[in-house]
Amino acid sequence: MSKKLKILVGTVTNTAQSAAQAMEMACAHLMDSIEIQMMDGLGIGIFEEDALYVICTSTTGAGDVPDNAQQLYASLSNEPRYLGAVRYGVFALGDSVYPQTFCNGGLRFDERLADLGAVRVGGIFQHDASAGTEPEVEAANWSQRWLPEAQALKAGLPQATSA
């Protein structure tokens, strides 16, 4: 079984991209390949690969997914298909100064993916821009906790820890 991780990035000012790069560096030794893909222009077909997926997205507007993620997000509704083989994690970036819509970008993707039968591994990580923590550090730590659990689940093995 190939060990591939795809990190799909939704961003406005590239914080999510930096977080994705930190995950890539932190997990390089654990996978055969790690691919960071900006969400621009993607559709639901991106979930057809034999890979683990991380949705790494910020939130903008009034709790919206970033512009570069709109097409992929819409495609999950407009071209629905069963994604029961997909195992994914969510690293959501937001800011608690927006309490009503905190990290909604990630939460929205999670909701749509779950509706389509995809299975999230672990909890949704919510990075708060007002918390004073570095998103890159949090992303590296989270991904190193999350990946072994995701791999075990994908392989049908009992889960060892909780991310």
Ligand X SMILES: Cc1cc2nc3c(=O)[nH]c(=O)nc-3n(C[C@H](O)[C@H](O)[C@H](O)COP(=O)(O)O)c2cc1C
Residues at the site binding ligand X, with contacts judged by CB under 6 A: 11-16, 58-63, 66, 93-95, 98, 101-104, 129
CA-only gyration radius of the chain, Å = 14
Residue sitting closest to ligand X (CB): 94
User: In whole angstroms, what is the distance from residue 2 CA to residue 106 CA?
Assistant: 27
Kindly tell me which of 110 and 149 has the beta carbon lying closer to ligand X.
110
* DSSP, residue by residue, 31-66: -SEEEEEE-TT--GGGGGSSSEEEEEE--BTTTBPP
Which residue, 89 or 94, is less far from ligand X as judged by CB?
94
To ligand X, the closest distance from the beta carbon of 32 in angstroms equals 27
Distance CA 115, CA 94 (A): 23
* Minimum CB distance to ligand X, residue 1 (Å): 32
Q: Closer CB to ligand X, residue 137 or residue 160?
A: 137
- Strands (DSSP E) found in 39-136: 52-57, 87-94, 119-120, 125-128
Structure tokens at 36: 């960071």
For ligand X, which is the closer residue by CB, 1 or 62? 62
Q: How far is the CB of 96 from ligand X (least distance, A)?
A: 7
Which secondary-structure segment (H or E) carries 22?
helix 15-27
Q: Residue 144 Cβ, how far from ligand X at the closest point, in Å?
A: 21
Q: Which is nearer to ligand X, 91 or 153 (CB)?
A: 91
CB of 26 to ligand X, least distance (A): 18
